[in-house]
């Protein structure tokens, strides 16, 4: 069994089976057996089951939020927001399930009709991280099932309880046995490589770190498995000299501190125009100092990090930046408690080559640098090998759009601190990944295009 810990106080909140590679194959057996019938189910029937699951998640919103907070540590507000966000993927893909797509046309030379259909690919392997235990699962399960695929899911070993609770709700909503199979395990590499080697698994969708994503891409290449990869980010947060600073601070609080900074979309590098950098730092820093850090059960706004290793890593990258000349300007207090807490922190004069700027921080640390020329700013931002999200705050909308379009990222919040939305195509460029989740694109990740070229005398 795997013991699931509460990162706020290290108490045990549950136990789940530690699945083996034999369990991994058993899950594919079930998914493969269930596939033909599920793929033939009328789109409307699949849609209604997904819609019912959306309703059940909202019915159980507080229970699910508590489970998320217990195993992940995030605040009650973040957990409730996550349940709403996660449930919306079921509603969105319930609506997309009835629009599988397709086409019908005539070849230019005549004598041929072309009938194009979008078919479910087959068994989908879904691998999800601990930072959004509900939303990362539903962002994959909903489109896979909407398309007519069956699935095997491996949640993170730190947060398996939420995925199991969602699977139960899908069963309650009417998903037949075998359509979704969850394998909890501490042998992530063994289970996932077993799936990628199995000829019945035709697509893998992964959310997690870039190094693991690269490993899975290499493994997927052996059988040319279709891949969708949501990997690490390094989001810039740009503030121009004519931006509304109060609005920019409000957006920064969301972009940086949602989920305690543990999000691939989290603002990682603040580039504030030198004319307003002092004022922005002061306004932002004052808000950061007010953040209440602690266990969700005490109504805190910021919970612990996921593990002690995470705390050590954030500590070391902050220390490294300070040694290189950065200054800590503001910091919130942390409780004296057993959990993995790190104080929300603001730093100024962070060098572009410090790890805080070149790698994902995945913690509540805001690193600020300054700039003064738009072209120089864009060049500095685009030096990164990552390109998931970005944020641009500017007074003149045209300038905000020009800067946003010049950034090598998949998503930009323009005068907004949040980009995530089930109706929008979530995903990154460069080493931040391949493919898109949500929107219509999310369904396409689980469909294969086939055409019939029909003799038409």
Ligand X SMILES: O=C(O)CCCC(=O)O
Ligand Y SMILES: NC(=O)C1=CN([C@@H]2O[C@H](COP(=O)(O)OP(=O)(O)OC[C@H]3O[C@@H](n4cnc5c(N)ncnc54)[C@H](OP(=O)(O)O)[C@@H]3O)[C@@H](O)[C@H]2O)C=CC1
- Residues near ligand X (CB under 6 A) are 129, 131-132, 135-136, 207, 230, 263-265, 420, 426
215 vs 331 by CB, closer to ligand Y: 215
Largest CA distance in the chain: 81
Q: Is the dihedral of CA 27, 32, 38, 43 positive or negative?
A: positive
- Dist CA 148 CA 202 (whole Å): 13
Minimum CB separation of residue 233 from ligand X in Å reads 8
Q: From the CB of 223, what's the least distance to ligand Y, in Å?
A: 15
d(CA 430, CA 213): 13
Instruction: Give the shortest CB-163-to-ligand X separation in angstroms.
Output: 14
Partner interacting with residue 265 (select from ligand X, ligand Y, none; CB below 5-8 Å by kind): ligand X
CA proximity to 124, closest of 99, 153, 98, 96: 153
- Location of structure tokens 């493994």: 219
Alpha carbon distance 267, 254 (integer Å): 9
Q: Which of 57/317 has CB closer to ligand Y?
A: 317
Tell me how far apart the alpha carbons of residues 157 and 263 are, in angstroms, rounded to a whole number: 17
Q: Which is nearer to ligand X, 49 or 235 (CB)?
A: 235
Count Cα neighbours of 440 within 13 Å in the Cβ-side half-sphere: 5
**Interface with ligand Y by CB under 6 A: which residues?**
127-131, 154, 156-158, 188-189, 192, 207-209, 212, 215-216, 230-232, 264, 360, 362
Residue 232 interacts with, from ligand Y, ligand X, none (CB under 5-8 Å by kind): ligand Y
For 323, the token pair is 């040694």
Residue 159 or 447: the one with the smaller Cβ distance to ligand Y is 159
Q: Which does 124 bind (CB under 5 to 8 A by kind): ligand X, ligand Y, none?
A: none
CB neighbours (10 Å) of residue 346?
26
**What's the min distance (Å) between Cβ of 128 and ligand X?**
9
Tokens of 190: 């063994």
CA distances to 251, 372, 438 from 280, rounded to whole Å, are 12, 15, 34
Q: Considering CB distances under 5 to 8 angstroms, the limit depending on partner class, which of ligand Y, ligand X, none binds residue 362?
A: ligand Y
Closer residue to ligand X, CB minimum distance, 198 or 230: 230
73: helix, coil or strand? coil
| Residue 173: CB minimum distance to ligand Y, A | 24
Q: Which is nearer to ligand X, 260 or 285 (CB)?
A: 260
Closest CA to 121 of 224, 52, 253, 11: 224
* Other residues' Cβ atoms within 10 Å of the Cβ of residue 398: 8
What are the residue numbers of the active site? 230
Rounded to 10°, the helix 277-289/245-257 angle is 50
> Which residue has 């931006």 as its token pair?
243
Binding-site partner at residue 209 among ligand Y, ligand X, none, CB < 5 to 8 Å by type: ligand Y
Nearest by Cα to 132 from 182, 89, 193: 89
Beta bridge partners of 416: none
Residue, CB closest to ligand X: 420
Q: How far is the CB of 174 from ligand X (least distance, A)?
A: 27
What is residue 142's three-state secondary structure?
Answer: helix
User: Residue 386: which of ligand X, ligand Y, none does it interact with, CB under 5 to 8 A by kind?
Assistant: none
Whose Cβ is closer to ligand Y: residue 65's or residue 126's?
A: 126
Minimum CB separation of residue 389 from ligand Y in Å reads: 10
- Least distance (Å) between residue 75 CB and ligand X: 15
Q: Which does 87 bind (CB under 5 to 8 A by kind): ligand X, ligand Y, none?
A: none
Report the partner that residue 188 touches, choosing among ligand X, ligand Y, none (CB closer than 5 to 8 A by kind). Answer: ligand Y
**CA-CA distances (angstroms) from residue 185 to 124, 165, 335?**
18, 16, 32
Whole-number Å distance between alpha carbons of 303 and 292: 9
- Of 63 and 214, nearer to ligand Y (C-beta) is 214
Ranges of H-type helices in 98-159: 135-147
Write the CB contacts of 250 (distance below 8 Å, at least 6 apart in sequence).
Answer: 417
Q: What's the chain's length in residues? A: 457
- Which residue's CB comes closest to ligand Y? 208
């Amino acid at each position: 069994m795997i013991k699931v810990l509460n990162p706020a106080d290290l108490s045990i909140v549950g136990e789940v089976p530690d699945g083996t590679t034999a369990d991994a194959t058993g899950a594919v057996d079930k998914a493969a057996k269930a596939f033909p019938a599920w793929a033939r189910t009328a789109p409307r029937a699949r849609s209604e089951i997904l819609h019912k699951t959306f309703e059940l998640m909202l019915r159980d919103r507080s229970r699910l939020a508590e489970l998320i907070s217990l195993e992940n540590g995030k605040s009650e507000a973040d957990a409730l927001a996550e349940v709403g966000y996660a449930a919306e993927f079921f509603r969105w893909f319930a609506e997309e399930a009835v629009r599988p797509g397709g086409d019908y046309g005539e070849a230019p030379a005549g004598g041929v009709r072309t009938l194009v259909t979008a078919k479910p690919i087959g068994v989908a392997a879904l691998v999800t991280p601990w930072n959004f235990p509900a939303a990362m699962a539903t962002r994959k399960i909903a489109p896979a099932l909407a398309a007519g695929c069956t699935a095997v899911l491996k949640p993170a070993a730190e947060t398996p309880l939420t995925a199991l609770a969602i699977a139960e709700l899908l069963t309650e909503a009417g998903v037949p046995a075998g359509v979704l199979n969850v394998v909890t395990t501490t042998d992530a590499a063994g289970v996932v490589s077993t799936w990628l080697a199995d000829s019945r698994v035709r697509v893998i969708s992964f959310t997690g770190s870039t190094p693991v994503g690269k490993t899975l891409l290499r493994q997927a290449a052996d059988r040319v498995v279709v891949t969708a990869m949501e990997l690490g980010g390094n989001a810039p947060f740009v503030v121009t000299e004519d931006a509304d600073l109060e609005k920019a601070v409000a957006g920064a609080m969301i972009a940086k501190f949602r989920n305690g900074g543990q999000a691939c979309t989290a603002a990682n590098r603040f580039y504030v125009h030198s004319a307003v950098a002092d004022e922005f730092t002061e306004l932002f820093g004052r808000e950061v100092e007010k953040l209440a850090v602690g266990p969700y059960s005490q109504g805190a706004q910021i919970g612990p990090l996921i593990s002690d290793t995470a705390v050590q890593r954030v500590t070391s990258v902050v220390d490294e930046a300070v040694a290189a000349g950065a200054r800590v300007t503001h910091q919130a207090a942390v409780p004296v408690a057993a959990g993995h807490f790190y104080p929300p922190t603001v730093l100024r004069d962070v060098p572009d080559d410090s790890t805080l700027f070149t790698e994902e921080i995945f913690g509540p640390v805001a690193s600020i640098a300054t700039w003064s020329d738009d072209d120089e700013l864009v060049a500095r931002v685009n030096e990164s090998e990552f390109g998931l999200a970005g944020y641009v705050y500017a007074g003149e909308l045209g300038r905000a759009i020009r800067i946003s379009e010049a950034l090598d990222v998949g998503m930009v919040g323009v005068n907004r601190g949040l980009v995530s939305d089930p109706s929008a195509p979530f995903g990154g460029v460069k080493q931040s990944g391949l493919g898109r989740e949500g929107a219509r694109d999310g369904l396409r990740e689980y469909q294969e295009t086939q055409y019939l070229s029909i003799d038409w005398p």
